[in-house]
Amino acid sequence: MSKNTISNSVIRRLPRYHRFLGELEANGYVRISSRELAEKMGLTASQIRQDFNCFGEFGQQGYGYNVSALRGEIGRILGLDRVTPMILLGAGNLGRAIASHIDFRSKGFELVGIFDASKEIIGRKIGDITVSDISGLDSFCREAEPKGAVLCIPKEAAAKEVERLIGLGIKAFWNFTHYDLRIDHADIAVENVHLGDSLATLSYRLNPDSNVC
């Protein structure tokens, strides 16, 4: 038994556990102890056991954890066994790369439509999806009922499109826009990516603390 809401820190570690366990499984591991997993991941055994105990008792005293079963549990917790329909807005460089590079299926989603406003891009094929005119977004959503949206549109268009998408039933936003998406509705999930911020922190680390007073 544990507290009934999961902290952000824990949630952010779950996909990483899932990945490491997948690799262990691929390398033939059947069982693993929290101590050994901690070593491989650069965490402490305590933290790993605390994290897992938010969701249940997945191990066995004296034995450890079954790699495959544990991975299955974490996948289920993350909802990776679901297939939530998702659309992508903005098929520029980044949008096209996300559409073709990301394995949506293994992350709990399925990309079902790609939309853009530019005449040069509409009609192009990305994987097996043809880029549609954004003017057709409403009717598409009423039919396909996507629940997620990837935003790769220009910053200026973001706020307006988000309003519209919420009206069309979108519940999860994966936002690559240079715009900090913050939504009040409690039932809408947002993940802001901000690759530029990520690169800026790397710049800091290249010469850390030289400005500390």
Name residues contacting its own copies, limited to 182-201 (CB under 8 A).
Answer: 182, 189, 191, 193-201
Residue 58 interacting with DNA (CB under 7 A): yes
Q: Please give the helix or strand (H or E) that residue 86 lies within, else none.
A: strand 84-89
46 binds, among its own copies, DNA, none (CB under 5 to 8 A by kind): DNA
The torsion angles phi and psi of 89, rounded to 5 degrees, stand at -110, 125
Residue 205 interacting with its own copies (CB under 8 A): yes
Tell me the window of 60-68, 81-89, 117-125, 194-202 that interacts with DNA (CB under 7 A): 60-68
Interface with DNA: number of residues (CB under 7 A): 27
From 15, 41, 43, 190, residue interacting with DNA (rule: CB under 7 A): 43
Instruction: Name which of 103 and 139 has its Cβ closer to its own copies.
Output: 103
DSSP secondary structure letter of residue 119? T
Pairing of strands 64-66, 109-116: unpaired
Residue 27 interacting with its own copies (CB under 8 A): no
- The least CB distance from residue 16 to DNA, in Å, is 12
Q: State the SS3 of 128-190.
A: CEEEEEHHHHHHHHHHHCCCEEEECCCHHHHHHHHHHHHHCCCCEEEECCCCCCCCCCCCCEE
Local structure of 83: helix, strand or coil: coil
Contact 48, 20 (CB under 8 A): no
Tell me the window of 8-16, 30-38, 116-124, 129-137 that interacts with its own copies (CB under 8 A): 8-16
